[in-house]
Amino acid sequence: MPTILQFRRGNTSQSNAFTGAAGEITVDTQAKTLRLHDGTTAGGTVLGTTGYVGSAGVGYTGSIGYTGSASTAIGYTGSVGIGYTGSVGLVGYATTATAGSTTTLTASSTYNQYFTGTSNQTVLLPVTSTLSLGQTFFIVNNSTGTVTVQSSGGNTINAMPASTNAYYTAISTSGTGTSSWNAYYVGQPTPVATQAFATAQAIALS
């Protein structure tokens, strides 16, 4: 009999109240989305289900991450969606070759930002007053140098060594310092083939 891998799961209310371990993934069975946990944030971060491109954004199915007039979707601006601005989802990614220079992101920059090459690079995040609360950028350092991520005021949030990645979420729409951003540093992922998976628990998250 084949081995079946299952994640902990529950409805949206249970998922919103659950605080998972750092790096843990759970399933919202009501919204049909995945959530990535950091060990401290109740509800984790909604990852969506990736695949829909149109007027709603990446990972959008029905009303993912949307409750009433607000949303918990990543990079939310407007009505719903990951990396969504207005009526167009900012799908895809941008690749920058490091050159010892500065890459300045704006509100219209894509959600995924990849860096390649052999030099160091500085990434200046957008002015938060131009963003929507919760808008997120996923930065991946595929270069052999260091990618230093700073707020729009030039304050260093962290320096990412080679082969690491991190999520940067706007938690305030005012200010130009590091306090306007939440950084979830992922680091170098462990290959799936070397991970030891525990027996899944098919129980509610509460």
Residue 23: the pLDDT is 86
**Other residues' Cβ atoms within 10 Å of the Cβ of residue 69:** 6
Residue appearing with tokens 């990618």: 147
CA angle 58, 94, 75 (to 5 degrees): 40
How far apart, in whole angstroms, are the C-alpha atoms of residue 66 and residue 46?
Answer: 11
* 4-32 per-position pLDDT tens digit: 888 899 998 998 999 999 888 898 888 88
* 56-70, 81-95, 100-114, 150-164, range with the lowest pLDDT: 56-70
In eight-state DSSP terms, residue 58 is B
Q: Which residues contact 125 (CB under 8 A, 6 or more apart)?
A: 105, 137, 149, 150, 151, 152, 157, 168, 181
198 pLDDT band, cuts 50/70/90, is very low
Q: Which residues contact 133 (CB under 8 A, 6 or more apart)?
A: 76, 170, 171, 172, 173
190 pLDDT band, cuts 50/70/90, is very low
Q: How many residues are present in the chain?
A: 206
* 57-75 per-position pLDDT tens digit: 444 444 444 444 443 444 4
Do the Cβ atoms of 115 and 147 come closer than 8 Å?
Answer: yes
Q: Average pLDDT for residues 30-37, to the nearest whole number?
A: 87
Residue 6: the pLDDT is 83
CATH for the stretch 92-187 = 2.60.120
**Other residues' Cβ atoms within 10 Å of the Cβ of residue 187:** 12
Widest CA span in the chain: 57
